[in-house]
Amino acid sequence: MTEPGDPRGTRWGTRRFSLRGRVTLLAAACVAGAVALVSLGAYMVVSNNLYQQLDDGLMARAQAAVASPQVQTELRQVPGAFLASADLQIGQLNAAPDVQHAVMTYPLSSSPPPFGQDELAVANGDSAESLRTDFRTDSRVVALPTGHGEAIVLAQSMAPTKRTLNELALVLFLIGGAGILVAAAAGTAVARTGLRPVDRLTSAAERVAKTGDLRPIPVSGDDELARLTTSFNTMLGTVADSQERQRQLVADAGHELRTPLTSLRTNLELLLAASKPGAPPLPDEDRVDIVADISGQLDELTQLIGDLVELARQDEPRERFERVELLDVVERALDRARRRAGEINFDVSLQPWVLTGDNSSIERAVLNLLDNAVKFSPADATVWVRLYPLGDGTAVVEVADEGPGIAEEDLPKVFDRFYRSSEARTLPGSGLGLAIVKHAAERHGGAVYAARAPEGGALMTIRLPGAPG
């Protein structure tokens, strides 16, 4: 025995009552219920009809017996029906004050029909007719008056009728049992065929859990199970893409981290070697340069790690989004960019726009565009910032600068992770700023674009869905 909560008991229970077994049991139960209802209905209808036919036939023969002519016998005159009633018990009841004194006349070749108070009431004229079941002899008894103080009584055994009904019940039972077996077999076949895609999904899930193999499984048909298989394949593809992006991110991050870490290690080793006893001292100018290099490399590592953390945070699913006033978001990003822009001027034109999303993510994306424009702009240059709707349910945030612009061969790649053009490789940065912009835009159902500005510099655009504010 297993205790409650024991996983062995759960697995055993799952094997005993699998989905295929439940489908088979359900099919057999449904057919059993339907067969039982149909059989019961058929039995009741046939039973009522047979007993009604028995009553109608018995009443018709009783009426014929009443209307038949009298036949003279050695004792007295009796109805002629006495001579043609071999399958019946027939007799003529003479009235009396009670049953004990009543006299029943019947053919010598047969037994007298049962009679009681009902038949005596008919003979006495107290009742027009009588039709009942005599349970002692298991027969139906009918009585009709034939004259003053007399009644003819007919009784017919119900044994043939009951025998017919018993045979009918046996036939219905056999047919119903065969139907249930056929339904169980059909349910098993349907369950096996219908659940084959589920078996493939189960095998695929077990394969993924065991080996990490994310290959899609074949899809056949166009029913609900085929849609489930397609959805499962889509999920596998999404997981595979996510793993590939993670591997690529780790590889790119390792490559980007290797250079500043190597340089930092070299500079630290120089400082440590110079501080050892007996080592020649470093000139002050070289020591200042090494310390400056270490400080710059630490800043570069700090920015790179911060951008990697931001990308990882944006990959996390958000359960709830909030109302985003895009105009306020752009203004907050501008305030932060102005504090570190030096002598750069900003030409700003903003129109209200509202969407649902993550305020901090969009603000970081806009700030990255502004910092990118400031970084490539010469002193006293102007950065143009525009926010306006396009009239198709989307709005754009445009940031243009007066820098050197983007080469045509670099335009398709500027939003890739760790991509840095030849002009940007000599400038500080991690190569992740524009990738963060792209990720934030796509996460909100938008897109990003890079082009050359009319002034000759770069023109970066974020397009986001929403509504006028």
| pLDDT for residue 192 is more than 60 | yes
Q: What is the structure's pLDDT at 320?
A: 63
How much is the pLDDT for 271?
Answer: 81
Higher pLDDT, 229 or 51: 51
Please give the pLDDT value at position 62: 87
Mean pLDDT, the chain, as a whole number?
Answer: 80
**Average pLDDT estimate for 324-340:** 89
Q: What percent of the chain has pLDDT over 90?
A: 21
Summarize the confidence of residues 297-313 as an average pLDDT.
68
3-state secondary structure 292-354: HHHHHHHHHHHHHHHHHHHHHHHHCCCCCCEEEEHHHHHHHHHHHHHHCCCCCEEEEEECCCE
Of 108 and 2, the one with more pLDDT: 108
Q: How confident is the model at residue 12 (pLDDT cuts 50, 70, 90)?
A: very low
- The pLDDT confidence band at residue 465, using thresholds 50, 70 and 90, is very high
Q: What is the mean pLDDT of residues 107-111?
A: 76
More confident residue, 74 or 181: 181
By C-alpha distance, which of 17, 42, 36 is closest to 183? Answer: 36
Residue 71, pLDDT > 60, answer: no
Give me 90's structure tokens.
Answer: 């027939």
Nearest to 434 by CA among 464, 455, 411, 465: 411
d(CA 347, CA 385): 6
The pTM of this model reads 0.47
Confidence of residue 13 (pLDDT cuts 50, 70, 90): very low
Neighbouring C-beta atoms of residue 275, cutoff 10 Å: 10
At 68 the pLDDT is 76
CB contact at 8 A, 450 and 459: yes
Q: What is the pLDDT of residue 83?
A: 42
259 vs 323, residue with greater confidence: 323
Least confident of 15-29, 75-89, 312-326, 430-444: 75-89
pLDDT at 381 over 60: yes
pLDDT confidence bin for 142, thresholds 50/70/90: very high
**Res 47: pLDDT:** 92
